[in-house]
Chains A and B, each alone.
Chain A
């Protein structure tokens, strides 16, 4: 254990501070390249806005593609921040201190882009506000929006809390705009014991609250696809599958960003092989666990080989997507596991960085494989579809926007870690004092470091019935109804229009008026009394508005008698059989009570914790 005497807090502080000040040439080149990709993405987006989503490779079958894959990817890597500052905190891992701010920066940046990707994917982004005005909390999309916003706010708070003492410390060393920001944001921190105690209380509360929020964000994103009737998606494993795959990808991104910042900011002595090794060990465990989840996700349906799953699995395991699929399994999981199992590789920065590239590429392809092949295998197999509809390949616009999102992500991380000290100074120093240099994983001293209107001529259709003056019976129909328990009896009496003599052998057709037509209930020939009798079930539902059943008696053969008809109306026993829905209220426009309570309850709980933390830090000034 390295003792306090060999640790030089001033040198460490100077190193971290120096990194916020100077821009190296390579840094400027990186900024220009990232900004270029971002601009390209913005241009591509304007083009997409103008022409619509037709410019993407998306069509009616594959209606979600690269953008949604990227949503899952960004939501995924956002988990790492919460993991480092929450799980590792409770596990008592003291090496977390120097890397915690980088983790939170990754979280903020990735959650921002996770929020942006669905907007880019929207057909009508100008209606974004409807999600808040007309939002239905029954929809997983609303859950996702709320979770992403909550997580973003929580992550900003968690990024900010340990920053307060650092800003106070540096506010006098920086001038101009940054000095102003530092001064305002440091909230009059003096480092008094009460302030320290309050800050620690806030940190602890945030560490507890952020974890369920972080897990919910990713689980809800998984539910976006798991809560559908699609083969490969409709699976209960989706939540955990996403969470752990996310954490795995997060570790890879964390290692890569750490390596980048280590070089750029010259943090060789602060971010050491020990930090890389610790995260690599975590990545090893997560890769192994993710492989296990993959075996469950693909293995179990592959054993059953249900018809619809078979189509999808054939495509993945030996069809169009097999190269991609097996690449993910072999290069994204198995090889990293094997390599990381060697302590020597795990302990080298170069080794972990190279494996992280493999894991990251695997994770990106994996998100794509979760979204696209499933959409190509709907429950009703494609028929007569145009060739461009049955496949999907991202268009240049999509690729440009995706590249821009990745570049933007790195850019935001760089800006956050440049504008603010990348390493928590106060937190790390305290940890060093308490646990020593080695526990925090640091080394000794180092250098610097988005009708026209038409109408046609009206044709009046006149139906002129030819009036033929034939020797026909000229009669009238009188209807009578007799209601019974099970059947209603209709008696039609046909009499001569003038003489009122009953007419026999007239065939009458009885029918009941329905919305679009006449439901025939029988043809009856009149007897000697001129009567034709028929029945219909008395439980026949009536008209939905009036409750009436209208029975029509009509002369069947107009050659025998004049074409005449009569109708009689009777109230039905039942208006209509009530038809119930079985969806438990969530299909309705208004949410059911249980859902409202759950939803608002959870949101309120989390946000009140945030409010408490904000309240506490605003009051810090009074406690100096």
Chain B
């Protein structure tokens, strides 16, 4: 529990604690100072007037009036907005195989962000070798967020769907658990909640499609490109978790991708210069994840156990 609380992303934490506060006493009035360091409100002069609030432990605390404000994004997005996606965006991911050393930090970061147990991996680092004589390499595999997704085609209830921002999302309030999408996905990225998933120590009850925690018994889950982060202009967990700066994420409409270090590259140029390819292009699934071949690898190749 301690471990988990530390790992809660700040914005997530704020939303959660604010939810608590709002539901407790303040009701729609929220701690402004917690909104972020960029807020000018932190410079506000203290009024001296204290407002009683209920904190997470259930204790009554007194907060200066100046630190309380109405949180603009409190409502989050509606289910309809979440189904539509972030307006005007086309998210895209580029993974530089030359930089990947198979450390698995992306998986760790992803699991933290989505509160996944060890046996679930939304991003899986595979060892690849196309033929015995050719080079072996590490291959982080996420959901490809295909533009022609075989999974959404077969969903009988529109529980998994293609958003306008390119993300293939899952609405676990609607999934009936038929697992047709799992059979249809050629990349084997979809996972099923065979039993009651371990829940993190909070309840997120708004935002049906865009939660960090998406596991639900009897429903399907997979990599979601972290739309809850993107909506705030933040990079997905795996990108910020990759110490090698091997994973880039961005908006194809803006023709740019960014990695952890903040290095922002022109997408079209990067794809051309590095001879990018998409995984299993021949299937016609039109993935939104591009791979840069492991040419001039920066790190040692994986030792292949078997071909």
Contact = CB atoms under 8 A, between A and B. Distances in A.
Contacts of B149: 583, 587
Contacts of B234: 516
A345 to B, nearest CB: 41
A53 to B, nearest CB: 5
B194 A59 contact: yes
Nearest to A544: B88
A576 B159 CA distance: 29
A383 interface: yes
Given A451-B200, A582-B148, A124 B182 contact: no
Interface stretch (A35-43, A60-68, A268-276, A484-492): A60-68
Interface string B129-171: 0000000000001000001111011111111011000100000
A544 B87 contact: yes
Given A51-B195, A229-B283, A518 B5 contact: no
Contact of B175 (A118, A124, A455, A576): A124
A278 B251 CA distance: 67
B218 A123 contact: yes
Interface stretch (B12-20, B44-52, B70-78, B293-301): B12-20
Which has the most chain A C-beta neighbours within 10 Å: B20, B178, B190, B265? B178
- Going nearest first, the 4 A-B pairs with the smallest beta carbon separation are A123-B177, A544-B88, A455-B56, A123-B218
Contacts of A124: 175-177, 217-219
Contact of A514 (B31, B33, B258, B283): B258
Contact of B180 (A53, A139, A518, A576): A139
B201 interface: yes
Contacts of A136: 155-158
Given A514-B256, A519-B265, A141 B156 contact: yes
Contact of B87 (A451, A515, A545, A582): A545
B221 to A, nearest CB: 10
A121 interface: yes
Interface string A448-459: 000111111010
Nearest to A514: B256
A565 interface: no
Contacts of B182: 60, 63
A511 B258 CA distance: 13
A543 B184 CA distance: 35
Nearest to B58: A453
A200 to B, nearest CB: 39
Interface string A227-253: 111100000000000000000000000
Interface string B181-215: 01111111011111110011111000000000000
A60 B162 CA distance: 22
Interface in B246-269: 249-258, 262-266
Given A53-B218, A124-B175, A582-B284, 18 more contacts: A52-B196, A122-B176, A123-B176, A123-B178, A127-B176, A134-B157, A136-B157, A142-B156, A229-B184, A379-B186, A379-B280, A451-B199, A458-B17, A460-B34, A515-B254, A541-B255, A576-B90, A587-B153
A380 interface: yes
Interface of B: 1, 5-6, 8, 10, 13-14, 16-17, 20, 31, 33-34, 37, 42, 55-57, 87-90, 119, 124, 126-127, 141, 147-150, 152-159, 161-162, 166, 174-180, 182-188, 190-196, 199-203, 217-220, 230, 233-235, 249-258, 262-266, 280, 283-286
A458 B13 contact: yes
A577 B76 CA distance: 29
A124 B33 CA distance: 42
Nearest to B250: A516
Interface in A360-390: 375, 378-380, 383-384, 386
A131 interface: yes
Contact of B188 (A225, A378, A452, A588): A378
Contact of A460 (B33, B57, B257): B33
Contacts of A462: 37
A199 B35 CA distance: 76
A131 B176 contact: yes
A555 B193 CA distance: 52
A519 B183 contact: no
A230 B262 CA distance: 39
A130 interface: yes
Contacts of A54: 194-195
Contact of B264 (A224, A375, A378, A517): A517
A53 B193 CA distance: 8
Contacts of B255: 514, 540-541, 577
A582 B286 contact: yes
A122 B176 CA distance: 7
A139 B262 CA distance: 42
A583 B149 CA distance: 8
A118 B256 contact: no
B86 to A, nearest CB: 9
A300 interface: no
A516 B284 CA distance: 29
Nearest to B31: A458
Given A519-B256, A519-B266, A58 B14 contact: no
Contact of A141 (B180, B188, B283): B180
A138 interface: yes
B89 A544 contact: yes
B174 A134 contact: yes
A288 to B, nearest CB: 31
Nearest to A122: B177
B258 A516 contact: yes
Interface string A134-152: 1110111110010000000
Given A123-B178, A515-B251, A587 B194 contact: no
A224 B150 CA distance: 12
Contacts of B166: 579
Nearest to B175: A124
Contact of A456 (B8, B127, B200): B8
B264 A518 contact: yes
Nearest to A590: B158
A63 B56 contact: no
A228 B283 CA distance: 11
A63 B14 contact: no
Contacts of B180: 139-141, 224
A337 B255 CA distance: 64
B232 to A, nearest CB: 11
Contact of A118 (B178, B218, B257, B265): B178
A52 B174 contact: no
A564 interface: no
A586 B10 CA distance: 39
A582 B283 CA distance: 12
B128 to A, nearest CB: 9
A224 B181 CA distance: 11
Contacts of B200: 451
